[in-house]
A and B are shown apart, each in its own frame.
Chain A
Amino acid sequence: EPEVTQTPSHQVTQMGQEVILRCVPISNHLYFYWYRQILGQKVEFLVSFYNNEISEKSEIFDDQFSVERPDGSNFTLKIRSTKLEDSAMYFCASSEAGLGEQYFGPGTRLTVT
């Protein structure tokens, strides 16, 4: 069964450093998303992406964040200058055109020290 994959599974970085989280969505999906979950809190939407542009973003997704689909398979989330409060699980999701359900990856645990 096709699934969303994410790398790395765990990333440790120092405050102020740039990080790139990588995702490979399900191959025939056209809509891509990033969510995050701070430890013990709810899953929060960050951004959705379709046709090589951002279709929706939340207040969390400020100028420090960017997304890119650099090739036909990868979807990346970049945090330019990490802060302690960026420590969280980051989940990538994708959905097929015309359908509502999204399929989530296993997540990347980002720890900012």
Chain B
Amino acid sequence: DAKTTQPPSMDCAEGRAANLPCNHSTISGNEYVYWYRQIHSQGPQYIIHGLKNNETNEMASLIITEDRKSSTLILPHATLRDTAVYYCIVRVGLHGQNFVFGPGTRLSVLP
């Protein structure tokens, strides 16, 4: 699976959009971009995933560049409860394949 690079930490003001970047320059054609987050020591929580088109759900939006070498997770109106470690993972979109978690980005939403 392709490697990803994320900033180790970011701050965001409550109510503002949080934009979390991820570089995955070695991504291959059949690999998806997945985003998870982990609040404290809770289980990782699935957020969103995409292949090449931008995606939006009730939690977030995922913007993937045309060359697919990078992506941005957008939390449109961050709240204090969005404070967590966010993981960008690139992986083939097959069932049964494990996820390889990196260190992620620690997002702090500030009041």
Q: Which residues of B contact A35 (CB under 8 A)?
A: 98-99, 101
Interface string of B74-108 (1 = CB under 8 A from A): 00000000000001000111111111111100000
Do the beta carbons of B98 and A48 come within 8 Å of each other? Answer: yes
Cβ of B40 to closest chain A Cβ, rounded Å: 10
Query: Given A104-B44, A106-B42, are A50 and B101 neighbors across the interface (CB < 8 Å)?
Result: no
CB–CB B95/A100 < 8 A? yes
Interface of A is mostly: strand
In the complex, which residue of chain B has the Cβ closest to the Cβ of A101?
Answer: B46
Q: Could you tell me if B96 and A48 are in contact, using CB atoms closer than 8 angstroms? A: yes
A65 interface residue (CB < 8 Å to B): no
**Contact among A33, A37, A96, A105 with B98 in the assembled complex (CB-CB below 8 Å):** A33
8 Å CB interface, B44-67 against A: 44-46, 49
Q: Which residues of B contact A (CB under 8 A)?
A: 32, 34, 38, 41-46, 49, 87, 91-103
Provide the residues of chain A in CB contact with B45, threshold 8 Å. 104
Contacting B at CB under 8 A, from A1-57, are: 4, 30-31, 33, 35, 37, 42-45, 48, 50, 55-56
CB-CB < 8 A to B98: which residues of A?
A: 33, 35, 45, 48, 56, 58
The smallest beta-carbon distance between A5 and chain B, in angstroms, is: 11
Given A43-B101, A45-B100, are A96 and B95 also a contact pair (CB < 8 Å)?
yes
Which of A43, A56, A101, A109 meets B96, CB within 8 Å?
A56
Say yes or no for A75: interface residue by CB 8 A criterion: no
Q: Can you list 16 residue pairs at the A/B interface with Cβ under 8 Å?
A: A31-B96, A42-B103, A43-B99, A44-B101, A48-B96, A48-B97, A50-B96, A55-B96, A56-B96, A58-B98, A91-B44, A97-B95, A100-B94, A101-B49, A104-B45, A105-B43
Q: Is A102's CB within 8 Å of the partner chain B?
A: yes
